Structure 1
Amino acid sequence: MIQIEHLSKTYDGASKHHALIDVDLTIEDGDIFGIIGESGAGKSTLVRCINLLERPTSGRIVIDGEDVTGYSGKQLLELRSSIGMIFQNFSLFQQRTVLKNVTFPLELVHEKREHREKRAYELLELVGLTEKAKSYPSQLSGGQQQRVAIARALANNPRVMLCDEATSALDTRTTISILKLLKDINEELGVTMVVITHSLAVAEKICNKIAVIDKGRIVETGETAAVFSNPQSAVTRELLGSDYLPGDFDGSAGTSASGTDARGRSASTILADAIDAASNPFVNAGRPEVHASTSEGKPAGRRVK
């Protein structure tokens, strides 16, 4: 369990910027917990405070009953090795092969080479990229690069995975594929996930709970279905009422300037319907292009416990 208690983060400068203000959240083991809000609301700052990439100005972060807020040195390294993180821009080492990208976290904790490579191949099988082990990131598609980043984040068997806009740089079909993979990992490996996203469709389809953040404050939290069906805050209602983001779907969804397609569906609904279709083998019969198990239309491989 992750408990965030009265967390604040202030950046000093010509004028102080209060990025987080008195944030309280509880994330249960096994949750896929979404944090949504507009750009600049404090989403990324909050997730970076969880693994102490950002040091909070005040408040506490308690993980499995331990206050980790003041960790440093060896304690901090051990904490970060138990928390995987994936980013919008993948953050892969371009000069390393796929295999060596995945082994990197294990090198930091001085695992033997044989164990590092064995673990890396297991994870590449999990994400459906075994055949790309000797390739370099520049030779991969965006979806494949994010799969490598996911494999790397799992290298140390983390308890928690932080996903900072993990699908924002991907097209709709690849987004479906990555969401399916993340959900499989959560269900089969029991990894708790904190998902930062501006996409309401992503939050609705993958997250069992969400928190809405605005100007550094949590304005609403609860079960995803309850929040979406009966939003209590004006900010949430505004987000739900303006979920169309021009360019998100590259025009492929056929949306109009008003944010709806010919059937009157919003962009959020279009993506939600696409994710449903990708998860339904009857809908997908004879349509491999929408299968979500992999970005290349190949089986994702066996699951690694």
Structure 2
Amino acid sequence: MIQLQHVCKTYGEGERAHHALRNVNLTINDGDVFGIIGASGAGKSTLVRCLNLLERPTEGSIIYDGRDITNLSGKALLELRAQVGMIFQNFSLFQQRTVLRNVTFPLELRGEKKEAREARAHELLELVGLADLAQRYPSQLSGGQQQRVAIARALANNPKVMLCDEATSALDPRTTASILQLLQNINRNLGVTLVVITHSLPVASKICNRVAVIDQGRIVEEGVTAKVFSDPQSPVTRELLSNDSLLVETEQNVEAGEAK
């Protein structure tokens, strides 16, 4: 379980201070696919980066399984990050490393022996459907294949939690559908809790069992995805849902991608 208690994040001071997060309180249960949705600049990425302390909260606490991790540093912080995988919109792969060596990188940092880390990487590449591409380089892959490599790398340390920061926003509908299916399989079969940051309501609707809506750094609504989307209580949520034709059209595109 992940708990955020009164989390604030402020950049700068005085009149120029920017309050990226304002008194955020959330609980993410083990096994959730938890969506954080909102418009650009709402605070989504800042929130997710606080979960693995890439950004430290200015105020408040982040608690994993009853342990306050907010002020971890050194070895304890590295151990935490080993249990929290992360994937990004732009894949963030090492261009001069092969697919195999991209996936082994987290294990190299931990000092794993070459034979063990390569065995683990081959296992993960099989899981994400890229077993035959281990010796290729990122530039030789499609966007969807690169994201699959990034997912395999994020799983290298057997994390309990995976943070997905706009993981499908750079992909076409067909590829988005395949990546969402892969993430669902990882959640169901490996028991990895997923935190999905997205501006796409169809993506959240497709994969998330619970969502929180963020606006100007504040959580304005939170609950079971189907209920939030069918009976929104916040004006912000209603505004996000207001263009029903766009929502339906995008959902149809994602479903069409799954059917191909």
1:194 counterpart SS class: strand
Say whether 1:267 aligns with 2:246: yes
Distance 1:32 1:97 in 2: 30
Q: Aligned partners of 2:31 and 2:254: how far apart in 1?
A: 21
TM-score (norm 2): 0.97
Q: Is the 8 A contact 2:177 2:255 kept in 1?
A: no
Tell me by how many angstroms 1:267 deviates: 3.1
Q: C-alpha distance in 1, partners of 2:201/2:39?
A: 11
Matches within 5 A, 1:1-305: 1-12=1-12, 15-242=16-243, 266-276=245-255, 284=259, 290=260
Could you list the per-position Cα deviations for residues 217-236 of structure 1 after superposition, in whole angstroms to 9, with x for gaps in the alignment?
00000000000000000000
Structure 1 position 277, deviation (Å): 5.3
Is the Cα contact below 8 Å between 2:173 and 2:257 reproduced in 1? Answer: no
Aligned length: 259
> C-alpha distance in 2, partners of 1:173/1:139?
19
AA paired with 2:153? R
Deviation at 1:275, TM superposition (A): 4.0
Question: Which has the larger Rg?
Answer: 1
Structure 2, gaps ≥5 residues long:
none
Q: What is the rounded CA distance, in whole Å, between the counterparts of 1:218 and 1:238 in structure 2?
A: 15
**Structure with greater helix share of residues:** 2
Question: Structure 1, residues 204-259: CA drift from partner, whole Å, max 9, x if none?
Answer: 0100000000000000000000000000000000000137xxxxxxxxxxxxxxxx
Q: Distance in 2 between matches of 1:277 and 1:93?
A: 32
Q: TM-score normalised to the size of structure 1? A: 0.83
What letter is aligned with 2:154?
A
Residue 274 (structure 1) shift: 4.2
Q: Which amino acid aligns with 1:108?
A: L
Q: CA RMSD in A?
A: 1.2
Which structure is richer in relative contact order (CA contacts within 8 A, separation 6 or more)?
Answer: 2
Q: Distance in 1 between matches of 2:27 and 2:256?
A: 32
Gaps of 5+ in 1: 244-265, 285-289, 291-305
